[in-house]
């Protein structure tokens, strides 16, 4: 029966102590990170979240055309081509109170809806991401 060599051979590329010796910890860490696809996907997602969060003023000014810090209780927005109040009359038999508009799924008009003060929730989430980071 033939014996199998269990020890790595010196001088063979990619094996042995000479392969790791002389490399910096950063180089070894980067090499290990590149092999882990889940870690790379997570890193890419994190970078996307950071970029989008820091683009919050661009979204608020140029896309949503709203100020996420000003109350907008009497404002209107466009939903399916119609002008709609941001704060709508309450439901039920008595129609008591007001409810903020829900998600419109239109990037330009209250994508995630409005809060109780009539502010754009999507813009506020992006500004919150900036604070968290």
pTM: 0.69
Closest listed residue to residue 128, CA positions, set 45, 52, 31: 52
User: Is the Cβ–Cβ distance between 120 and 107 less than 8 Å?
Assistant: no
User: How confident is the model over 41-96, as pLDDT tens digits?
Assistant: 999 999 999 999 999 999 999 998 888 899 988 888 888 889 988 888 877 777 67
User: Is the Cβ–Cβ distance between 99 and 88 less than 8 Å?
Assistant: yes
User: How confident is the model over 69-78, as pLDDT tens digits?
Assistant: 999 888 888 8
């Amino acid at each position: 029966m033939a014996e199998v060599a269990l020890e790595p051979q010196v001088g063979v590329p990619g094996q042995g102590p000479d392969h790791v010796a002389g490399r910096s910890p950063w180089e070894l860490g980067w090499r290990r990170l590149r092999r882990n696809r889940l870690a790379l996907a997570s890193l890419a997602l994190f970078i996307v979240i950071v970029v989008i969060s820091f683009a919050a003023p661009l979204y608020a000014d140029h896309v949503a055309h709203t100020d996420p810090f000003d109350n907008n209780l009497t404002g209107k927005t466009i939903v399916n081509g119609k002008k709609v109040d941001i704060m709508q009359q309450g439901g039920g038999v008595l129609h008591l109170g007001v409810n903020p508009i829900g998600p419109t799924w239109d990037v330009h008009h209250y994508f995630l809806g409005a809060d109780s003060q009539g502010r754009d929730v999507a813009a506020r989430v992006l500004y919150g991401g900036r604070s968290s980071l």
